[in-house]
């Protein structure tokens, strides 16, 4: 299921969300200008490589800087390809503007970064021996999705489901879509831990960690008048998901 539209809920201009999207694309275009070997080095130096911290002797041997924890931050702004960044930025724009509207830009940006850092730490602790660099904003975005899940329980989402190459469109409660997404990450993450081999190249537990962190801490960052997640009349009707209200 691919989300296309949400019930409108943002009143102001989502400056923080657009800034994050702009930074991610700016860094991505720099990536595109780099030779493949240089880009691989960038991913290893600025992406999260768990074994770099769990096996310091190995890290020193291959030439990683000692006591450098910046990758937990910098990895959030690196992406592995067009599909990676477009999928992440679309999801960030879709869910981020509403969450930012309830938090305010400054609080929202702090919340986003903390979600990403938490996701990186969860990935580290669940993949201690991995020597593969992990990059992407999906852990931070998962935190935004977790906050949306709690803050907008009556919102609805239009999703596209391709069946035999034909797109079908459905209107669902956003909490149903997000719950399905979360348990899919949890299932695949558990499968990856149970397997003796890597299952795909997705940081499943980073998504789980970011989502749970977002659900648990959103109220610390929401503006006081929004901490009880009040009902917004624009959320309730399915028609609101099919038409954008600015």
Q: What is the pLDDT of residues 199-218, one digit of tens each?
A: 447 899 999 999 999 999 99
- For residue 197, the model assigns a pLDDT of 55
Residue 53 half-sphere exposure toward CB, CA atoms < 13 A: 20
pLDDT attached to residue 151? 93
**Each residue of 59-96: pLDDT tens digit?**
999 889 878 999 999 999 999 999 999 999 999 999 99
- On whether the pTM is more than 0.85, the answer is yes
Q: Residue 9: which of 112, 139, 143, 147 has the closest Cα?
A: 147
Question: Which residue segments constitute the domains of the chain, with CATH numbers given?
Answer: 2-241 (1.20.1540.10)
Is the CB of residue 159 less than 8 Å from the CB of residue 3? yes
């Amino acid at each position: 299921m691919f989300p296309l539209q949400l019930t409108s809920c943002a009143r102001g201009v989502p400056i923080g969300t657009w800034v994050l999207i702009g930074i991610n694309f700016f860094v991505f275009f720099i990536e595109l200008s780099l030779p493949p070997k240089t880009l691989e080095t960038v991913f290893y130096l600025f992406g999260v490589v768990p074994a770099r911290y769990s096996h310091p002797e190995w890290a020193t041997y291959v030439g990683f800087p000692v006591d450098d924890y910046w990758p937990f931050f910098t990895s959030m702004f690196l992406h592995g390809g067009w599909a990676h960044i477009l999928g992440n930025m679309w999801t960030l724009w879709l869910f981020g503007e509403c969450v930012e509207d309830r938090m305010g830009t400054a609080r929202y940006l702090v919340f986003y970064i903390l979600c990403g850092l938490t996701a990186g730490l969860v990935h580290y602790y669940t993949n201690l021996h991995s020597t593969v660099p992990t990059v992407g904003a999906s852990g931070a975005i998962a935190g935004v999705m977790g906050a949306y899940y709690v803050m907008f329980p009556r919102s609805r989402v239009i999703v596209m489901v391709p069946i035999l190459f034909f797109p079908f469109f459905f209107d669902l409660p956003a909490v149903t879509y997000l719950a399905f997404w979360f348990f899919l990450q949890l299932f695949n993450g558990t499968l990856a831990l149970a397997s003796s081999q890597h299952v795909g190249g997705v940081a499943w537990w980073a998504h789980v960690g970011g989502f749970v962190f977002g659900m648990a801490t959103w109220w610390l960052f929401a503006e006081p008048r929004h901490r009880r997640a009040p009902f917004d009349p624009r959320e309730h009707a399915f028609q609101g998901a099919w038409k954008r209200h600015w």
